[in-house]
Amino acid sequence: MKSSTKLLFAAALLMPPSAGWSKGLDELKKMQPPGAIAAPAAPQTPNPDAEVYKDYIGQAGLVSESGNAWKIGNVRWSRGADGKYDWDTALIKPGMVEQVYWGQTLSGFGHAFLVFKLKPGGFKSLRPGAYRSDYLVLSVESKLRKDQSWNPVVGAFGVFKIVWILSTLESFVEDNVRVNGTPTDIYPLLLSASARRKMTDVALRLSVKDRSGEVFNTFTNNCGINALSVVNSALSEEQAVHAVLPSSATEKFISRKLVGQPVHFTRENPGGGIIAPR
């Protein structure tokens, strides 16, 4: 059994009971043999005076909404010549969504995210000279300061704040696949046009919500649970997918035939055949 699985299971045992906790514990039990758990060290305590976050993190914010056109600020677009990220104001038209994908990075328990492909003109930066992208990513993450590192056990104790990051798929792939070398799959969701539109509206509305005071939790408020809340908003109660771990959610999507064949992104093929890597 991997050490990360041991620590996550131990964290689940120490958490107070809740619906998310119970599901997370059930899923983790399937991944480890009995009697193999050691109690983790106490979680780190955040420094309240060091509110400086890692440079890839930025909370999206609403600039304006008018009919079918949203202007959203703080969308991660690319790295500038100085190596720093460009955070742009983007124009997004939900009515021009063409496909929605369920995404998962293939490392450890995985990280879940959503990808929205929009028709030309449906998603663009308002910054002159910005490259064209047709793929918008929504990624819910722990809001890490520069002095913090991601740890799923620590994340089970509400230490990290939460952030809803909007970016281009090109930017997401550059960081996670090309630089970090994490293989990643995105699966097209087999939904109707009206369901795709509803998901896009919900995703945008939730991404610009004020998250002050909200914390990330490995079992009750994580990347997969929030991504599923967007997907389930467009599904019937019978179709709705519920899971705590991203890998479990992906398995359910596949078994219920709610997704098509995945697009693979690797360091050797960072564009996956659908984008030009930056």
pLDDT tens profile 254-268 = 999 999 999 999 999
pLDDT tens per residue, range 89-107: 999 999 999 999 999 999 8
Would you say residue 278 lies in a domain?
no
Question: 119 to each of 63, 145, 190, how far by Cα in Å?
Answer: 22, 35, 18
Residue 243 CB-half CA count within 13 A = 22
Q: What does the pLDDT read at residue 254?
A: 97
Q: What does the pLDDT read at residue 8?
A: 53
Would you say residue 21 lies in a domain?
no
Tell me, letter by letter, the H, E, C secondary structure of the chain: CCHHHHHHHHHHHHCCCCHHHHHHHHHHHCCCCCCCCCCCCCCCCCCCCCCCECCCCCCCEEEEEECCEEEEEEEEEEECCCCCEEEEEEEECHHHEEEEEEEEECCCCCCEEEEEEECCCCEEECCCCCCCCCEEEEEEEEECECCCCCCHHHHCCCCCEEEEEEEEHHHHHHHHHHHCCCCEEEEEECCCHHHHHHHHHHHHHHHCCCCCCCECECCCECHHHHHHHHHHCCCCCCCCCCCCCHHHHHHHHHHCCCECCCEEECCCCCCCCCCCCC
Would you say residue 5 lies in a domain?
no
Would you say residue 80 lies in a domain?
yes
Would you say residue 194 lies in a domain?
yes
Q: What does the alpha-carbon distance between residue 251 and residue 257 come to, in Å, rounded to a whole number?
A: 10
Q: What does the pLDDT read at residue 123?
A: 98
Which residues form the domain of 80? 49-265
Report the chain's terminal Cα–Cα distance, integer Å.
37
Would you say residue 159 lies in a domain?
yes
Q: What does the pLDDT read at residue 23?
A: 52
Q: What does the pLDDT read at residue 46?
A: 33
Would you say residue 212 lies in a domain?
yes
Q: What does the pLDDT read at residue 52?
A: 82
pTM of whole model > 0.75? yes
User: Considering its fold, how many domains does the chain have in total?
Assistant: 1
Average pLDDT, the chain: 85
Q: What percent of the chain stands above pLDDT 90?
A: 69
Burial classification of residue 146, based on how many CB atoms lie within 10 Å of its CB (0-12 exposed, 13-18 middle, 19 or more buried):
exposed
Low-confidence ranges of the chain (pLDDT < 70): 1-51
Q: What does the pLDDT read at residue 226?
A: 98
